[in-house]
Amino acid sequence: MTKKKAIEKTMKYNEMICGYVMPISDTSDYRVGHWDDIKAMLDEVTSSIGFKESRIVSTGLDVSTIHKRIVNNIYNDEIIICDVSSRNPNVMFELGMRIAFDKPVVIIKDNVTQYCFDSGTIEHIEYPKDMRYSEIEKFKVSLKQKIEKTIEHHKSNPDDSPILHSFGSFSVVKPNIPEMSETDEFRSELQEIKSLLFNSLREKDASSLSEARWIRERLPKHRFGSNDDDIIAKVSSVSGIRIESIDDDTVYIRASSPARIRELVRQFG
């Protein structure tokens, strides 16, 4: 690809929004923060493509405007990436809307989630649930290629059905999707800011409470050696243990539980 064509291609993507339809809250059978990691991975791929914006379609959490925003985003976003892993009901419902609108969508899932009967005929790109680095790197390459091919095909063949042809012959009726008013947009953005602030404060409070529950303990320094660097290395090797200070005879620590102290003593006498 020539430099000129590459710039022209990037400029096209610079005018587009890529929406994510995916779980947001932590899910059973998935480690804490899994979906944040998935979103970060998607951000990395979409950023490399050069989209104007990439975000979850449900951005904006005001109860009175969330449905307007979601429907508007699902309908208007040039491309949607949908992660059906864990078969989240909200995700499947939003995917159904995008399919009904017959607009470009790329479906992804982890390698543990089974295919859904209704959407199994549509191509899914799989990634490893355990987020193995080498496999994730391969997945990101495949995802980027799929997104670009999907958009280019739709731009070149705007009348070609991207999804519904998989289910038979349909005549898609263009729905009347009302645009969000400036008031709705403002309320939604304000609510999102409030939600982010609330979550930040809640995490800070939880961290402070957790810190307050840690146990302070003093241990003889000679148990761990005479060199401070060695002492720090040994004590820090036990999870849930932090060194507060060291003097001539004593190591002052904080432990997340009595079991962590017992483990430290067991290892180093």
Reduced to 3 states, what is the DSSP secondary structure of residue 164?
A: helix
Q: What are the pLDDT digits (tens) for 71-113?
A: 889 999 999 999 999 999 999 999 988 988 889 999 999 999 9
pTM over 0.85: no
Q: Are 218 and 245 in contact (CB under 8 A)?
A: no
**Which strands form 215-220's sheet, in the order they lie side by side?**
215-220, 250-255, 241-246
Which burial class, exposed, middle or buried, applies to 203 when counting CB atoms under 10 A from its CB (0-12, 13-18, 19+)? Answer: exposed
pLDDT recorded at residue 62: 46
pLDDT recorded at residue 139: 96
Q: Are 251 and 218 in contact (CB under 8 A)?
A: yes
Distance CA 60, CA 195 (A): 9
* Domains observed in the chain: 7-178 (3.40.50.450), 211-268 (3.30.1370)
Q: What are the pLDDT digits (tens) for 210-257?
A: 555 788 888 888 888 878 888 888 888 888 888 888 888 888 888 888
Segment 191-201 shows an average pLDDT of 64
